Structure 1
Amino acid sequence: MISPLKISIVLSSVAAVQAAYHATAGDSEVTYAHRIYHDFRSLDDTGNLYKSEPANITSDEESSAAPIQEGYLSSDAFVNDWGIQTWDSPAGEDTPLRKQYSNGNVYIKRDEETSATHLVLRAYRNEDFVSAGEIDSKLSNIFHASIRVRARVRGESGACAGIFTYFDDDNESDIEILTRDETNHIRYTNQPGLDDAGNEIPEASTDAVMKNGAVWTEWNDHRLDWTPELSAWYLNGEQAVTKTYGIPKNPSSVILNMWSDGGVWSGELDVGSAAYLEIQWIEVLYNTSE
């Protein structure tokens, strides 16, 4: 069970009933008791389920009626670990557009050039709302983890791709790609990012330049390590940023999403435009609070 990132992860005992996974976070070795792994690259598509992108969601009726895609996303293997979200967030003073998550924005797609498959989370702008895509871990008691995702982002300016842990707005650790940014910039944040007066907390967020010519429109290995003493972010196996500020203190979920609300952070998609978080695989090494 070697990680696709080729980072040092080994089984402590092949014969053990409960495996343990070892990973290096910062300068320390961390042991995790559990692993979630989903590889979307070579899924069976004999029925051509994944040939075409599903139609964009353009109304509340379409959003609520959209089924979960047949095939892998309906399988026990996926459903046991992840839940596709259908909640909504109303527009507000700082978020001009309502955000509505839908089953129809989470789907497997076959790459026309390579025939490989991948998971897609989509955000599509309508006149008065954004139809968005999100998956949440079924577990909400993850307590320290190493989260690894091979992904790329494409589409129009004005959306945000997120890979993060979440308990509440003060216990959240983020990898975020903003499609309004230059394609070699990525945001690493431990929340809260603002103080009570609404001012930015300097140590909370880093606008990092991706190393070695990497750009987020191409496939990259993203990694977030959450330990009791440190949050560490990695790109393609190299440590990018560490933080001791804002390390989450509560058991959390792991969330991946693609969204926009027209606000200052995400920016605003043009009407009729879309952005996509495309994922080849997800791996989560973790401990729990129980």
Structure 2
Amino acid sequence: MSSLYCTALGLMPWLIIVTLARLASAYCECGYSVNKTSATSFQVFTDILETDFLHSSNLTGAGWLPQQYNVTQKAARGPYGKQFMVSNVLANPLKDKYSWAGDSLDGGDAGLQLWVRGNPVEGLVGSAEIAAQRQDLLYGSFRIGMKMSGVQGTCGAFFWFRNDSQEIDMEFLSKQFNFSSGAVNLVLQTPMSLASGYDASGTADFKVEALPFRPDQEFHEYRFDWSPEKVSFYADGQWLYDMTIYSPNSPGHLVLNHWSNGDPAWSAGPPTNDAVMTISYVKAYFNTTDPARQTAYAQRCPKSDANSVCQIPDQETPPDPSGPNGNQTARTYFFSLDTGHAPNQTLYNATNTTHTGGSGKLSASCTTAAWATVVLAVILLSGALSL
């Protein structure tokens, strides 16, 4: 919401600023919750990191860093090594910044593209990886809108990383996709997997979960909720599995990557053709270990108040831009794009502030706040005139 849209209601600008400031002051000041705060089970997190890749062309400005490094064949533990290159990370936003579906700038699916190249060079498979700049994520709810590659022989991953013995993974192997379904590999790298030579498959913190759809045919949301007691995994808002034996307990950061090392027991490949994994968004709601951020939270929420906690919407349908209703299905909610709903948060360059859709109509949030502003404005103005 911006005052530009709401001034169309004919209110005096100074009055709008005053009343909007008062309205916005209570939004999300005490954090963001999984489930309603009135529910028997809920979690509240203090900080957010949201990235809208459908409209973003500046990855660094959006809080992410493309990675460039090589992994030797021996270290990759496969027939090939991996070559992560910045050139394999490509932003491909929508042409129309006010839409959530339609043509992309460079063709194909809009979003962040992570490419695996089909022709190894000097024994290395060209791969792609980006890492979040923030390193202070300790517990939270982490969500990604993503469409996998259907080219056989790659591994695509969305994960939280601290070190080789503290890692939470959702990994997709294109070789596991069949005619009508797919699978996701749910993995916790723990001291037990480290002792097994980085192989979590022989531990209790590994599960191959069947999916009732092919991950390469549409965008879907994948999610994991991490608490001190467990890690819960979801697809399109539907619970998949809980891991309760071991839960990481140190801060780390988010990573997205797409790679192949030719290992027939895992990624297979390398792919015969270039393969792309496309991300439409990442949304993270978490607690921070950064002292400055902890102080900022204490200042805006000196006393716990459930009325100042915002519930995180569940994405229960595929956030896919294809099809006749793509502009609606791909339009997901961002607190950081809704004015007043990310108070004192560390926000990166938000290239899209689409508070109007293709029709140019006011969004519901702007309309609601604007009418609330009208009511308050009338009250304030009436009081001023009675003096």
Residue deviations 1:125-176, cap 9 Å, x none?
Answer: 3332111111111111211121111111014211111000111111001111
State the secondary structure of the residue aligned to 2:248.
coil
Structure richer in strand, relative to its length: 1
Q: What is residue 74 of structure 2 aligned with on the other side?
A: 92
State the secondary structure of the residue aligned to 2:115.
strand
- The alignment status of 1:144 with 2:144, answered yes or no, reads no
Q: Give 2:33's aligned amino acid.
A: H
Q: Give 1:100's aligned amino acid.
A: Q
Listed as ranges, the matches of 1:33-52 within 5 Å are: 33-42=46-55
Q: What is residue 165 of structure 1 aligned with on the other side?
A: 160
Q: What is residue 214 of structure 2 aligned with on the other side?
A: 215
- Give percent identity, aligned residues only: 22
- The alignment status of 1:189 with 2:187, answered yes or no, reads yes
In structure 2, the gaps of 5 or more residues are: 2-22, 96-100, 105-109, 291-387
Kept in 2, the 8 Å contact 1:155–1:274? The answer is no
Structure richer in helix, relative to its length: 2
Kept in 1, the 8 Å contact 2:164–2:194? The answer is no
Alignment length, in residue pairs? 245
State the secondary structure of the residue aligned to 2:87.
helix
Within 2, Cα distance between the matches of 1:168 and 1:259?
A: 19
What is the alpha-carbon root mean square deviation over aligned residues?
2.7
Q: What is residue 205 of structure 1 aligned with on the other side?
A: 206
Q: Which of 32, 43, 47 is the matching residue for 1:21?
A: 32
Q: What is residue 115 of structure 1 aligned with on the other side?
A: 103
Within 2, Cα distance between the matches of 1:24 and 1:100?
A: 41
Kept in 2, the 8 Å contact 1:19–1:34? The answer is no
Listed as ranges, the matches of 1:197-276 within 5 Å are: 197=196, 200-210=201-211, 213-217=212-216, 218-263=218-263, 264-270=265-271, 272-276=272-276
Kept in 1, the 8 Å contact 2:55–2:93? The answer is no
Within 2, Cα distance between the matches of 1:19 and 1:101?
A: 39
TM-score by length of 2: 0.58
Give the drift of 1:19.
Answer: 4.8
TM-score by length of 1: 0.76
Q: Give 1:186's aligned amino acid.
A: V
Residue deviations 1:4-45, cap 9 Å, x none?
Answer: xxxxxxxxx9515945111149973111111111112245xx
In structure 1, the gaps of 5 or more residues are: 2-12, 44-70
Q: Name the CA shift for 1:251/1:119 in 2 (closer, same or farther; >3 Å).
A: same
